[in-house]
Amino acid sequence: MPELPEVETIKNELSPHIIGRRFTGIAICDAKPIRQPSVEEFCRKLVGQKINSLKRRGKYLIFHLSNGEALIMHLRMSGALLLNPEQPDSYARVIFYFDNNDQLVFTDRRRLGALWLVENKQAIIGKLGPEPLVPEFTINTLAERLHKHKAPIKAVLLDQGTIAGIGNMYADEALFKARIHPLRKANSLSPQEIQDLYQAIRHVLCSAIDNKGASIDTYKRPEGEIGTAHFNFSVAHRGGEPCPVCGTPLQRLAIRNRGSYYCPNCQEARQT
């Protein structure tokens, strides 16, 4: 958390408020998130810059600035961006001030988030795989990428160098919708299974964006509201509950140290 739908929602809801605005000040409450450059240089170079556009790449937010540089943010597990919060946030790490007196607060309970101010954004995001919702991402693209991996399909979907933006929750949801066991080897999927998975990925992500992301833990939208995508989850975070299709209790297993939820009946394990 947050994954592609949450970051896309943040981008969509922040953009009308911040595009065209200039940074007038930065308050560093915790220097840990500032990865590049130094804290002093970060503040000096950012103040006075106008935000020309706000984009998303995978799980990263990219603020394109008037001097050609980019402010890149990765919210990691518990990061959020709150616009003019009514009450101080005890987990506030960095506060950005704008020329219209708005404040944007980067808050992060677990202190895992990261911020970069760079001339070359590819140095940070250049190794990301393709975006799963763009027209260029086809069934053949997915097939070619899965064919290279013998690892469990769940682990491959989480590899940001294979596909950008899919995280734990939406990988579970897509695999359930495609009826694929999370431990299946990625290169063992049949052409039909790859087609089903392709359609499932796109459906799950688009539906979650429509519902403004999932507020399972700390995720909040910029003005403090929650997302509602989690109300439509079939398996993610629902261990022990009945499968919505067959009623079998949903199970949880660990794959590469990540909890995975699935239905042992609908997603039957197969020899690979």
Residue 85 is among the residues annotated as catalytic for this protein? no
**Number of structural domains the chain divides into:** 2
pLDDT of residue 86: 87
Q: What DSSP line would sit under 160-210, residue for residue?
A: TTTSSS--HHHHHHHHHHHT--TTSBGGG--HHHHHHHHHHHHHHHHHHHH
Q: Is residue 130 part of a domain?
A: no
Q: Is residue 131 part of a domain?
A: no
Do 198 and 149 lie in one domain? The reply is yes
Residue 119 is among the residues annotated as catalytic for this protein? no
Residue 127 is among the residues annotated as catalytic for this protein? no
Q: What is the pLDDT averaged over residues 117-133? A: 97
CATH number for 18 = 3.20.190.10
Spot the catalytic one: 109, 202, 258, 264.
258
pLDDT tens for each residue of 54-106: 999 999 999 999 999 999 999 998 999 999 998 878 899 999 999 999 999 99
CATH number for 152 = 1.10.8.50
pLDDT tens for each residue of 147-181: 999 999 999 999 999 999 999 999 999 999 999 99
User: Quick check: 108 and 117 in contact, CB under 8 A?
Assistant: no
pLDDT tens for each residue of 203-227: 999 999 999 999 987 899 999 999 9
pTM of the model: 0.95
Do 13 and 108 lie in one domain? The reply is yes
Residue 41 is among the residues annotated as catalytic for this protein? no
Do 159 and 114 lie in one domain? The reply is no
Spot the catalytic one: 56, 59, 184, 212.
59
**What is the extent of the structural domain holding 148?**
139-262
Determine the Cα–Cα distance for residues 219 and 227; give it in Å rounded to an integer: 8
pLDDT of residue 1: 72
pLDDT of residue 271: 54
Q: Is residue 222 part of a domain?
A: yes
